[in-house]
Each structure stands twice: as C-alpha cells, then as structure tokens.
Structure 1
Amino acid sequence: MSYHVVWKPLPGSQSLALSCPCDEILFEGTRGPGKTAAQLARFRRIVGLGYGTFWRGVIFDTEYKNLADIITQSKRMYRLFQDGARFLASASELRWIWPTGEELLFRFGKEEADYWDYHGQEFPFIGFNELTKQPNSDFYESMFSCRRSSFRPENYPRKDGSLLPNIPLETFSTTNPFGIGHTWVKKRFIDPAPRGTIVRQTQMVPNPQTRQEEPITLTRVAIHGSFKENPYLDPVYIAGLMNIKDPNKRKAWVEGSWDVTSGGRFDHLWDAALHVIRPFHIPDSWTVDRSHDWGESKPFSNLWWAQTDGTEATLPDGKKFCPPAGSLILIGEWYGCPPDELNKGLNMSSTNVAKGVKWVDARLAGQDLPEPEETRGKGQMHIVPGICNKVIPGPADGAIYNTGDEELSIAQKMEHQGVKWVEANKKPGSRINGASLFADMLEAVVEGKTTESGMPEKPAFYVFDCCRGWISRIPVLVRDDKNSDDVDTDQEDHDWDGTRYRVLHNPPKPAFDINMETTF
C-alpha cells in the first residue's frame, strides 16, 4: 500500500512539538518556526484512529478577531487531507468536524469567569494561541478541569478485538515572548528548567477506576523554535523583524528571548543599572512614608518610600548621594502574595495587615520587636532594619475608606491598630498624570548619567535592590491598548497603584511622629 504525504513537520522544533509525550506543552520562540501549524497538526494526528467523538479539542484566543489567522491556517492544512472534514463558519459554530466524529472548536476567553461557558464539557485536547495574551493564569488553569475524557478502551474494542491506547489528555500552547502575560508564562514554563527539559510533578491521587491511591506524574515542557528552522520564510520578512525599532520587541521576536521587558509602559526608560541602588541610611531630614493598595483575594501592596530634600546621603562605599529635592526612593516592600504564586491574595484581614505594617514601620526605624504571629511568613517582605529615623503616614487607595451602615471601614480598622493613611489622589486624569510623572522621574536618572556631576537635574526615581518583588513586576507592565499613556489594568498592577499614589502625593512636613513606643 502506498501513502501520499500531504503535510509533514519541519525537522527540529516543529517535529519535536508533534512527537513530545508531555501533558502540557508550550511551543515558544521567535516569529516564524511554524508554531500554529504544529498546534493544528498536534490535534489532527489523532483524527481517524478510532476515538471518534471522544477526540474533541478547543483552541482559545483572547478575542474573536484574533482567531481569524489560525482558522485560515487550519483551512489550508486540513483541506489537504481530503478526508471529508467540514468547517462550520457561523459565529456560533467555528469548528471543524470529521466524518468519523472528531471535532475541533475555535473559541475566545481570557477572564476566569469565561471558564463557566465550558464547565462540565470534555476536551482531551486544549490549545491556547499566543499564550502571553492571557493576562494571568486564571482562565488557563481553570480549563484544566475540562481536560478529560470518558473514553475507556475496553468499552470500544476494534473490530479485530484489540484495544486502543488510553486517549491522550494534553494542553498545547504557542507563544512568542512579550505581551501582557509574559511574566506568568515565563514563571510557569521558562524559569523552572532549560527549554526542552521535562518538568515532572508526582503526587498521590485516588484512582476512581481502581479505588486505590496511585502516584500520578504530570509533565510540562517548553520547546523553543526559531525562524531559522523554516526554509519557507521569505528573507524580506526576516529583514522586517530585524528592523523593528523597539529593542525589547526585536529581542523577543528575533531571538526568542524571555529576558525582556514586555512591550511596557516604562521599559524604554528603565535601566536597572541606574535605577536600582544599594540600601543606605536615610538622612533624618528626608521624609519617609508608605503607600498602600488594598487586596484580599488579590494581593495588597505596601511600599515604603524616602523623599529627598536636597540633603546629602552617604552610600555604603562612602560616596555622597544627593539627587534633587523631591526625588523618590523605594526602600521597602510587603506584597500580599504567596512567594510561589502570581496575583493571588493572602485573604488576610485588614487588622492583621495593619499589624504587619506597624511592625515594618518600627523595624525600619530601628526597633527590635518580634514580628506579630499573624503576619509571620506571610507574603513577600523585603526591608532593611534601622534604615531611617521614623515613618509617617502616606497615601492609600480611597476604597479603604468605604464603609457599610454599621461597619467600620478598612481604614478605621487599621487606625485602631495605630496605622494611619492619607487618601490617595484618584481624581479624573490621575492615572495618566501618575504614569507621566513616574516616566519623567525614570528619565531624569537616565539623563543624569550624562551630566558633569553624574546626578539628575530634576526629581528622580530609585529603588533599593532589596525590593526584588517590585523590580520584577513594575518594569514589565504593558501599555493599555486603548490608551497607550496608561498601564493595562488587567495585569498584576497592585504595586503600580501603590507607586502611582506615592508619585502623585505631596507629603507635608510631619507635624507629628508615629508613636513607636506602642507595644505589640
């Protein structure tokens, strides 16, 4: 019997993506190695093997309009097989169906609530097109509850009595680096192991079929592809990529690098070598305060700031440091998120959050007090004890002042613990103004590098190197696609809100000191 090959994978990453045995696969890299074709072929390879209606798949993008390209590619590929497959093109259908019963759906979704449109359905194959478009992992992870099948080989023997293998359950996603979801995708697939290295997670699971506890191993891998593997690409296309002006976008799309800031609002101004500095003792005449963005199911953000007044500070190496009056330095952070999670809150009460804030105030001012039991080990806290003389109240989200008929507000509950705030500036236009002012402060540091003194001439922004969480989250914030002067609010922006509140805040010279003598 002779066979006519109508499509075959390219050698290299595309072939590896089709043969990979893992449960969860990310095919990532530069533009152009054939990632979308591999995703479509990954589903098609099971069609006609005997699973029939049990082999059912869905490929997601974040918006309906974004599905147009992958649908077009599927038509080019699947019609080559001439196996009777039909595409149902109405907006309510958008699916391929085969005479043998298999079907592949194209759908859109990005919010966790979008999962409920699929709750209870069976999809042995789930795909995500350009995974970094997903703002966070909520929808992605929720869809794992649909990655299942009721197919049992013994119930559907072949005509010769032999049994099919168990139906594969797999999630296959494609992406380039860059985009609003860059950070969470990188943390899930890129950071744990080198590309091509399978990450295994074994756990004991009650097996409903055997009614026994059994070890089950889940596997995850990132497969890296490059345009250099694709002989069908026009070199004019490659030249276009290489001439992209944005250096981060060029590095992501041409090199497939994940070590970029992802299309950000501030990445053109951010230079870690200039903005990140080693901690030093804050002069007593500088203002030290804090900002707050509330969160319970989502992270809260507490940030501690020093604002300069023109007085010189002494750096750890003995050099003098004197940025212009009004410059800001982030000196400490406490972020309400488990260390190994993204955008997940601690569900801490406002009372306990206030206890932690009060303790940090005291520690920054040099008091050696035991950390409250309620906050010990909670969230991501990075501070340098004894670095300043005192801390005064700073700006907080005005939402903490809202209250019910007979209920204390969050601000009132915190004040009962000795933690006061000042209501943040959230007037119309404050989001854009805050982003613009922050950008100016970043730019002042960059421009200061070229001055004779090496110091900025305008109020500037710095961050202590101990504030690792803020440094990992703020530079990668992407622009709002509807307003490029703002930050996209779908991403993990709690630190940004706290930063924006402080940038827009004009602290008075403190008329009182926070009472550090109060016992815990």
Structure 2
Amino acid sequence: MFGGAAGGGKSHGQLLDALRFAVQYPASRQLMLRRTLPELDRSLVPASLRLFPQAVASYKVSEHLWQFVNGSVLEFGYCDAESDVTRYQSAEYDVIRFDELTHFTESQFTYLISRVRGANGYPKQIKSTTNPGGVGHHWVKARYIDPMPPDTVCECDGGTRLFLPARLADNPFLQQADAGYEKRLRLLAPYDRRALLDGAWELDEGRYFSEFSAERHVTPPHPIPKSWRRYLTIDYGLDMLAALWIAQSPDGYSIVYRELYQSGLIISEAAAAILDCEPAGERIDCRLAPPDLWNRRQETGKSAVELFADCGLDFDKSSNERVAGWLALHELLAPRRDAQGGMRPRLTIFDTCRNLIRTLPALQHDKRNPSDTANTPHELTHAPDALRGYAATVYEPSQPAPPTLYDCEVGEFLRY
C-alpha cells in the first residue's frame, strides 16, 4: 500500500505501474477500483487517457477497460454497495488495484482479493493507494500500518505486505506546477490537515466511540462465574446475523464473551448456528432481539421471533431507542471507580470477538444527527446494533437522588 499525504502522486504511480505490468506480461488481466462510478470517471479514467500511449492500448468507453495490443486488459471497476462485489464473482485477475483503499470496507476488500488467481505464472498482487481517514481507516491501519514499520516487507498469511509512505515532497511535478498547493493544505481544519498534509494515521475525529481502547476494553478469555446472569442479544437480517453473548456480574460489570457473525442465513439456519455456539448445559437467562423481528412476514404470516421460537429460541424484545441506547453504551465503556479503588469500564470484550472489536471503534457520527451513529457502511453496524440493544434494555445508569422539600406543617422532608 502506498499511502499518506495528498499530492504524492499515488494515483499516477498506480496507473504507470499498471501500464508497466500490462506491457511486461502479455494477456495479463488487471482490475483497478474506486468506490463509486462517478469517482472513477472523475479521476482514473481521464488520468489514464493522458498517460497511456495510444500505440500500445485503446480505451473502450462502454466497457470501462483498456485493451492492449499484446492481449493484456486493464479493467476499471467500482463497488458502491456491499453487494457490488458479487459482480466480480467469477472473474480472475493477476493484479487488483484499489485507489483510495480507506473508502472500502474490510469485507469488500477481503472478497475482492479472492479474485486474484490464475495458473499463468505471472506475479499475483494487490496494490493500493489511499489517504488516511474514511470508513475503512481503522482496518487499513490495522493491516498495513500497525504490524510493521514503513518501507519494511512483512511476511504474513503466506504472502508479503509493504507500506510505502506518501509525502507531498515525493511529487516535484505538482510542486512546480502548483506552488500554492501546500499552502492550501495548511489552511485545512486540523483533522484534515493532519490526514492530507502530514499523512498521519492516528486520527480520532469522527469516531463515535472515541473512548474505546483495545488496551482498556479488550481482554483475553477468562473463566466467568456460573452465578453471573447471561444474555444473548442479536441483530438479524439475511445480510448478516450478529449475535453476542454477554455475562453480567452482580455489581453491574458486563463481559462480551462470545460472538457469531455470519451472513446469508435464513432463520432456521441462524437458529441452528446460535444453538451450535452454546455448549450443552449453558444457561442463558435472557435472549434479546430488536422490535422489527416481531413484524409478521407476508410469506409465512409469522414474525421472525415466532420462526425462531419454532426452532427452539425464545426472545424478549430489546429497546430500539438509538440515541438512548448509544448513550447507555457510552456509560458502559466509560471508566468507573471499582470497589478496589481502581478505574475500569463496565463493559469489556473477549479478544475472540473480532468483529465487534473491529466494527465498534469504526462507527462514525451521523453528520445530520451527531447524537446518532452513521448507518453506512452497513457492514459496520450489525454487531454494534446488537450491543446497543443490550445496553438500552439491560443497563440503567445511576439516577441522581430526587430533590427534597421540607414541609413545615408535618415537620418532615418530602420527596418529589
């Protein structure tokens, strides 16, 4: 991944590298992606028309691809919605290139890189460019920034990864052509200036749960007393089943100790998957599901909770108050003084619950309602929504003592 500051020539570098690969490896296939089609038409397409020699390739507008004289193909594509990845389901590429990688979700990236395959013996590569920030900032940082120093090849998952920092100084052509560009970057708001001018990856602005910290909230699995109450809370749709098992101590501390995160399950399959996760003899005191699962379905005349009940799972209705639920979750995440005098949050998460740990800190504020979370990209909302149902329904923040009034006639204090 080549990323960091704006103006480092990332997109041009990506296009020139694609040109070199296409010429060097006859009949090779490459895919270059932006998140949306308008972004593609405003950036990569016109830049490639300026850079690519017509003697070696021609651009087919209707197909959004370059056809090279040696049989190589460079295809331009996009993935706006989560489901757009399926348009590439049967495709094979030698190289997939992401432009502005942080605009993509991790699930889109993971699916698309599975399309890098083939038996022609050519190098198989994923090459990306990006600035910090965006919906994918956290997973990109965790994949390319946190595990290794920059400019260092890292062996992982049977392959190699490399992060190349991008700096404005890398592109003298831009500085010569537009001497005021750096000055305009310095006029940006502090958050945007750190991302686009400095290429900084330690960014917190826009995070809804800025208090979330892996060091504070994530813990290795440990025994949970059998006397603690246990809850199951779910967010269900055909696109994703997110199920969280939570244990609550008598003094109000909660631990998310198990998760199930799986897409494409009909209700009978979802119920079976949930029951398979629960060891024999485990007591679940309360199962929570959102109110929309009580709506009757046209095809069966039954609600989703009735269908779950037919499969052996009975649910209580969780609260669907979004803002109140998020505020309750803020309370659970906030450090509190415990009985021993130390400070710790009232909610922790086992480190085996990878999807909740991944998606909770990635939630952003809704730009129109800062008290709520953004509901896009939707893939990030499932596990947090399940946790919100638990927080809104089970957790009750401490209430201040009601005011008192002294009644002179009866000679005692009365409470409102």
Structure 1 pair 253/410, CA: closer, same or farther in 2 (3 Å)?
A: farther
Q: Deviations over 1:482-520 (max 9, x none)?
A: 876433252333321122213332689xxxxxxxxxxxx
Matches within 5 A, 1:133-148: 133-138=103-108, 140-142=110-112, 144-145=114-115, 147-148=117-118
Separation of aligned partners in 2, 1:250 and 1:271: 24
Task: Name which of 424, 445, 449 aligns with 2:318.
Answer: 424
Structure 2 counterpart of 1:131: 101
RMSD (Å), alpha carbons: 4.8
After TM superposition, give the deviation of residue 117 of structure 1 in Å. 3.5
Secondary structure at 1:174's aligned position in 2? Answer: strand
- The structure that has the greater radius of gyration is 1
Separation of aligned partners in 2, 1:475 and 1:503: 16
| Pair 1:179-2:134 in alignment | yes
Structure 2 counterpart of 1:33: 8
Task: Name which of 241, 257, 268 aligns with 1:333.
Answer: 257
- The answer (yes or no) to whether the contact 1:112–1:139 under 8 Å persists in 2 is no
- The answer (yes or no) to whether the contact 2:105–2:377 under 8 Å persists in 1 is no
Secondary structure at 1:31's aligned position in 2? Answer: coil
Structure 1 pair 331/241, CA: closer, same or farther in 2 (3 Å)?
A: farther
Structure 1 counterpart of 2:400: none
Structure 1 counterpart of 2:404: none
| Pair 1:476-2:362 in alignment | yes
After TM superposition, give the deviation of residue 422 of structure 1 in Å. 1.6
Separation of aligned partners in 1, 2:181 and 2:288: 49
- The answer (yes or no) to whether the contact 1:289–1:305 under 8 Å persists in 2 is yes
Separation of aligned partners in 2, 1:125 and 1:331: 42
Matches within 5 A, 1:47-446: 47-49=22-24, 51=26, 54-67=27-40, 68-78=42-52, 81=53, 83=55, 85-88=57-60, 90=61, 92-98=62-68, 102-110=72-80, 113-121=83-91, 123-138=93-108, 140-142=110-112, 144-145=114-115, 147-148=117-118, 167-190=122-145, 193-195=148-150, 196-199=152-155, 219-227=159-167, 229-232=169-172, 234=175, 237-238=181-182, 241=185, 245=189, 247=191, 252-254=195-197, 256-258=199-201, 260-261=203-204, 263-267=206-210, 270=212, 291-294=233-236, 298=240, 300-304=242-246, 306=248, 329-337=253-261, 350-351=271-272, 353-354=274-275, 362=283, 392-393=285-286, 395-398=288-291, 404=300, 409-415=307-313, 420-426=314-320, 430-431=321-322, 434-435=325-326, 437-438=327-328, 441=331, 445=334
Question: Which residues of structure 2 form unaligned runs of 5+?
Answer: 397-416
Q: Deviations over 1:310-334 (max 9, x none)?
A: xxx6xxxxxxxxxxxxxx7532331
After TM superposition, give the deviation of residue 303 of structure 1 in Å. 4.2
Structure 1 pair 454/93, CA: closer, same or farther in 2 (3 Å)?
A: same
Separation of aligned partners in 1, 2:95 and 2:218: 44
After TM superposition, give the deviation of residue 77 of structure 1 in Å. 2.7
Separation of aligned partners in 1, 2:185 and 2:395: 47
Letter in 1 for 2:246: W
Letter in 2 for 1:413: C
Task: Name which of 357, 360, 373 aligns with 1:486.
Answer: 373
Separation of aligned partners in 2, 1:274 and 1:119: 40
When normalised by structure 1's length, the TM-score is: 0.56
Structure 1 pair 301/238, CA: closer, same or farther in 2 (3 Å)?
A: farther
Separation of aligned partners in 2, 1:293 and 1:122: 34
Instruction: Say which structure is richer in helix.
Output: 2
After TM superposition, give the deviation of residue 41 of structure 1 in Å. 0.9
Structure 1 pair 254/360, CA: closer, same or farther in 2 (3 Å)?
A: farther
Letter in 2 for 1:330: S
Structure 1 pair 302/34, CA: closer, same or farther in 2 (3 Å)?
A: same
- The answer (yes or no) to whether the contact 1:261–1:475 under 8 Å persists in 2 is no
After TM superposition, give the deviation of residue 115 of structure 1 in Å. 4.4
Query: Percent identity of the aligned residues?
Result: 23
| Pair 1:499-2:387 in alignment | yes
After TM superposition, give the deviation of residue 96 of structure 1 in Å. 3.5
- The answer (yes or no) to whether the contact 2:7–2:171 under 8 Å persists in 1 is no
When normalised by structure 2's length, the TM-score is: 0.67
After TM superposition, give the deviation of residue 103 of structure 1 in Å. 4.1
